[in-house]
Amino acid sequence: MRGLTAKQREILVFIEDFVHHQGMAPTVSEIAEHLRIKQATAFAHLRALQRKGYVDRSSKARSLTLLRSSVPRHMSLTLSIPVLGRISAGLPLLAEENRESIIQFDPSLLPRDAGGHHLFGLRVHGESMRDLGILDGDIVVAKHVSTASVGDIVVALVEGTETTVKSLYVKDRQIELRPANPQFSSQLYAPDQVLIQGVVVALNRTY
């Protein structure tokens, strides 16, 4: 069979990951949204994949069927997660300008409620979350959400300038970002000073 373009391979891997997590095929709209392309472009890529024998589809919703994988079996069950650099208020969280690298992550290590969310990685600097096992140089994997529950470990943008990883609490109607190291103190902010960008769901560490 003919080879795949980079975009077709990316789409095929997304379909494989989506089916693995959700138990059903993605729609053309979901593919377009994930890859940030127009639906017509996504549809054209799917037609090409169908011609090349990688997928089959009908006019029904979620009718995509994988006929063959684009990558070896041990790789097809990994997620490609972007690792972000410094996050500011000026760009969308997952904008290309924020990306430093890509990590491959085993989806079986993620909680079930991580499915369906955009995932991103963020490299940790410092030891403020040490007692929760998050060390300097680790990469936390977070699902991109704008709200969180008390006690969640969150990625938060503080005062539009500083990105931090802390546990989220509420104290005296203020947002408390609590470290997990007695050498550091909790920081209190007005609700409008803190923008939740994600909830940590996993950890990636290289020895």
The 10s digit of each residue's pLDDT in 138-182 is 999 999 999 999 999 999 999 888 889 999 999 989 999 999 999
Give yes or no: 63 in active site.
Answer: no
Q: 94 with 59, same domain?
A: no
* Helix spans in 6-163 (H): 6-22, 28-35, 39-51, 73-76
Q: 46 with 67, same domain?
A: yes
Residue 1: inside a domain: no
% of the chain surpassing 90 pLDDT: 35
The answer on pLDDT for 3 being more than 90 is: no
Query: According to the model, what pLDDT value does residue 175 have?
Result: 96
Task: Label residue 204 by pLDDT band (50, 70, 90).
Answer: confident
| Beta-bridge mates of residue 154 | 166, 199
Query: According to the model, what pLDDT value does residue 116 have?
Result: 56
Residue 110: inside a domain: yes
Q: 175 with 121, same domain?
A: yes
Residue among 130, 139, 135, 115 at smallest CA distance from 200 = 139
Query: According to the model, what pLDDT value does residue 57 have?
Result: 80
**Farthest-apart Cα atoms in the chain, separation:** 64
Out of 166, 167, 171, 186, which one is annotated catalytic? 166
17 vs 152, which has greater pLDDT?
152
Give yes or no: 52 in active site.
Answer: no
The last residue of one of the domains, among 76, 91, 112, is 76
Query: According to the model, what pLDDT value does residue 52 have?
Result: 86
| Number of neighbouring beta carbons within 10 Å of residue 54 | 22
> What does the pLDDT look like over 110-143, one tens digit per residue?
777 776 568 899 989 899 999 999 999 899 999 9
Out of 70, 128, 143, 167, which one is annotated catalytic? 128
Cβ 41 vs Cβ 32: under 8 Å: yes
Residue whose token pair is 């989506």: 18
Residue 112: inside a domain: yes
The answer on pLDDT for 196 being more than 80 is: yes
Task: Label residue 90 by pLDDT band (50, 70, 90).
Answer: low
> Whole-angstrom Cα distance, residue 119 to residue 160?
21
Residue among 134, 121, 129 at smallest CA distance from 197 = 121
Task: Label residue 25 by pLDDT band (50, 70, 90).
Answer: confident
Q: 91 with 191, same domain?
A: yes
Domain residues for 161? 79-204
Query: According to the model, what pLDDT value does residue 103 have?
Result: 83
Q: Hey, is 97 helix, strand or coil?
A: helix
Q: 99 with 16, same domain?
A: no
Q: 92 with 183, same domain?
A: yes
Query: According to the model, what pLDDT value does residue 75 have?
Result: 42
